[in-house]
Amino acid sequence: MRLKGIISLAVSLLVLASCATRPVTIETAKPIKPNKQAKFSQKTKARNALLSFVRNNGFVGSACESRIMINGERVGEVGTGNIINIYLKPGKHKVNIKPTNINICGGDEIESIVKLTRDSEKHFRVAILQKLDLEPIQRKAPRKDL
């Protein structure tokens, strides 16, 4: 009887651990597939400020992508363990992020204003916990392509 209890506890802990999300670094995140990004994927002389969004790994929200909107325009979708890089003109930009399918994924829409300067970089982590969350993150090492 005691062995059943230990096995039951071990299985429960394993299930709970698999549900947790795990942060992904900017360097280890996988770029989204080209068909998932509609706009602003290339750096230009005018669009020289980088805004990136990284999604955590894990089971929670893994069936759902997060839709990224910039100034009311759909830019792309980012899934678990992925990064989307968006090149914008310097200035203030309205960012909206929401699950692609609210009926299945749940979660609220997030809205934020981001100010970018020439050749700047801003990075955010998109986390699905009990709700959709957005937090700034830092690169571990400077980019070599800038």
> Between residues 52 and 141, which one has the greater pLDDT?
52
> Between residues 6 and 123, which one has the greater pLDDT?
123
Q: Give pLDDT tens digits for 64-110.
A: 788 999 999 999 999 889 999 999 999 999 999 888 876 666 667 88
> Between residues 99 and 41, which one has the greater pLDDT?
41
Q: How far apart are CA 23 and CA 88, in angstroms?
A: 25
Give domain limits for the chain.
2-137
**Amino acid letter, residue 1:** M
Given a contact cutoff of 8 angstroms between Cβ atoms, the answer to whether 67 and 108 are in contact is no
Tokens 């698999």 belong to residue: 18
CA–CA distance from 109 to each of 40, 95, 137, 138 (Å)?
21, 10, 20, 23
Q: Which fold has domain 2-137?
A: Immunoglobulin-like (2.60.40)
Given a contact cutoff of 8 angstroms between Cβ atoms, the answer to whether 123 and 137 are in contact is yes
> Between residues 144 and 45, which one has the greater pLDDT?
45
Q: Would you state the pLDDT for residue 141? A: 67
**Amino acid letter, residue 52:** S
Given a contact cutoff of 8 angstroms between Cβ atoms, the answer to whether 124 and 135 are in contact is yes
Q: Would you state the pLDDT for residue 31? A: 92
Overall average pLDDT of the 121-127 stretch: 87
Residue 55 has pLDDT above 60, yes or no: yes
Of 143, 123, 97, nearest to 25 by C-alpha is 123
Q: Would you state the pLDDT for residue 64? A: 77
Overall average pLDDT of the 42-52 stretch: 95
Of 29, 40, 38, nearest to 100 by C-alpha is 38
Determine what percent of the chain is predicted with pLDDT higher than 90. 37
Q: How far apart are CA 95 and CA 5, in angstroms?
A: 49
Residue 46 has pLDDT above 80, yes or no: yes
Q: Which of 20-29, 46-55, 134-143 has the highest mean pLDDT?
A: 46-55
Of 24, 18, 34, nearest to 55 by C-alpha is 24
